[in-house]
Copies of this chain bind each other. A is one copy, B any other.
Amino acid sequence: MRFFSDNAAPAHPAVLDAMLAANAVDTAYDGDALSKAMDGAFSDLFETPVTAMWVATGTAANALALAAMVPPHGGVLCHRDAHIQNDEGGAPEFYTHGAKLMLVDGVGAKLDPAGVAAAADAIANDVHRVQPHALSITNATEYGLVYTPDEVAALGEVAKARGWGLHMDGARFGNAMAHVGCSPADMTWRAGVDVLSFGFVKNGGMSAEALVFFDQTLAADTLRRRKRAGHLLSKGRFAAAQILALVEQDRWLDTARAANAGAAALGAAAGARALHAVQANELFLRATPEEAAALRRQGFDFYDWAAGEVRMVVSWSQPADEIAALAAAIAAL
């Protein structure tokens, strides 16, 4: 029973069907009909003209987004526990050609305007100090917390006032949206987001994420950067097919709701053992090594996050009986 990572989950049947349908001959790269439909599909979803492109990984999406906003001699403000800082092998530094990640604290991997402003104010504006050019937030955060549109907008105001771009790492954007229930527009561009890494792989996809540019002036160079990074797939139609299948009929929200509901059940069982509110599809649980071992003996697979802490992730297709069994086991600790 895998609660290790939502990356272990299967792809959604609609995704598979769409890929099989895309197997007909069409032209190469992103010249095919499906790839060309991306802009329209996301413009509809976000109720504003956007440029949307597929990439193969969230790491590539994030790194391309940052490279679009930050020069090599600039910096990115982000949370100390951000995925871009800790889990991408230095991809932001690679794609930006050496921009500096500037780490800010905040509870549950969430940033707030005061903390961000204080971090920025500590940086003298002279040629000796790297200057911030963008703010990157993760929604849902690395600890499964969700920014509300108002919270994003407050950060967006800080960014705009200082001339920074605002990037949202939405590896679990679906989970965040399923929790809040607002419009995608309110969570993003209306709150000041310039570029969104819109994750699908953790949410029913196979190998395609969407990079959505609300600031469309950043898109043209990114198409060149994507090619230069080896991310212009030769048969892009199979990537577009995945994404479009999940956007259609709001399947991405259905899958996210299912995962969130499972995590909520685990959170309820965990009670005070939960280290963070369970708002998305992750539970961070206080557990001794002995308790963790006991759970594993019962057949549950999960991640040792830190000393005395484990992470359990519910995927979109997690069987109900697995969730019930794990909830019971947690409650019995």
Nearest neighbor of A319 in chain B, beta-carbon distance: B25
A152 CB to nearest B CB, Å:
25
A276 lies within 8 A of chain B by Cβ:
no
Contacts of A2 in B (CB 8 A): 25, 27
Q: Which residues of A in the span 210-267 have a Cβ within 8 Å of any Cβ on B?
A: 221, 223-235, 238-239
Q: Is A137 an interface residue (CB 8 A)?
A: no
Does A207 belong to the interface (CB within 8 Å)?
A: yes
Contact between chains at A27 and B4 (CB < 8 Å): yes
Chain B residues contacting A97 (CB-CB under 8 Å) are 72, 94, 97-98
Partner among B88, B101, B239 whose Cβ is within 8 Å of the Cβ of A230: B88
User: Does A10 lie at the interface of the complex (its beta carbon under 8 Å from any beta carbon of B)?
Assistant: yes
Chain B nearest CB, measured from A95 CB (Å): 8
A residues 72-90 touching B (CB-CB < 8 Å): 72-73, 75, 86-90
Cross-chain contact B130 with A89 (CB below 8 angstroms): yes
B-side contacts of A61, CB under 8 Å: 230
| A90 pairs with B94, CB closer than 8 A | no
Q: A227-B88, A229-B230 are in contact. Are A28 and B4 (CB under 8 A)?
A: yes
Total contacting residues, chain A, CB less than 8 A: 71
Asked if A116 CB lies within 8 Å of chain B CBs, one says no
- Determine whether the beta carbon of A73 is less than 8 Å from that of B221: yes
A5 and B27 contact, CB distance less than 8 A: yes
Whether A231 pairs with B56 at a CB distance below 8 angstroms is yes
Q: Which of B11, B91, B231 contacts A227 (CB 8 A)?
A: B91
CA distance A207 to B228 in the complex (A): 17
Segment touching B, from A16-24, A38-46, A106-114: A16-24
Residue among B7, B96, B129 making CB contact with A86, cutoff 8 Å? B129
The answer, among B10, B29, B231, for a CB contact under 8 Å with A23, is: B10
Are B8 and A28 in contact (CB-based, < 8 A)?
yes
Residue of B nearest to A1 (CB): B25
User: A167: CB under 8 A from chain B?
Assistant: no
Q: Which residue of B lies closest to A205 (CB)?
A: B235
Besides A8-B28, A88-B228, A93-B93, 6 other A-B contacts (C-beta < 8 A): A2-B25, A59-B230, A87-B129, A89-B127, A89-B228, A127-B224
Write the residues of chain A forming the contact surface with B, with a CB cutoff of 8 angstroms: 2, 4-5, 7-11, 16, 19-20, 23-29, 55-61, 63, 71-73, 75, 86-91, 93-101, 103, 127-131, 201-202, 206-207, 221, 223-235, 238-239
